[in-house]
Amino acid sequence: MNQYRIVIRNLLGINSRIAEILAEKAGAYQSSITLAKGKRRADLRHLGRVIDLNIRYGDEVTLIINGRDEEEAGADLLNYLEYP
């Protein structure tokens, strides 16, 4: 299992457009992929649940990936979260 802490630098936070792209990217991997903000968590494949986390500019989130392709998924998603 890999965990990555990320500070959101997009001025719009994770809005619906970014959440949709993240869900599509997560769907390409077999690993379990979760985004956490504080004590709240959401499966990255579920657009509505990610939006419900209400992630804003400057928030710290944790990307949790567990599975066969976790290294590849982590590199791809981490890159997008840091530079959308």
pLDDT in tens, 10-23: 999 999 999 999 99
pLDDT of residue 81: 86
Q: Cβ atoms within 10 A of the Cβ of 71, count?
A: 12
pTM score, whole prediction:
0.90
Whether 47 has a pLDDT exceeding 80, the answer reads: yes
β-pairing, 2-7 vs 60-66, is antiparallel
**Which CATH number goes with the domain that contains 52?**
3.30.1340.10
35: which residues sit within 8 A by CB, 6+ positions away? 22, 41, 42, 44, 50, 53, 55, 61, 62, 63, 64
Structural domain including 11 reads 2-82
What span, in angstroms and rounded, lies between the C-alpha atoms of 38 and 65? 17
pLDDT at 84 over 70: no
pLDDT-derived band at 62 (thresholds 50, 70, 90) equals very high
What's the structural domain count of the chain? Answer: 1
Is the confidence at residue 36, as pLDDT, over 70? yes
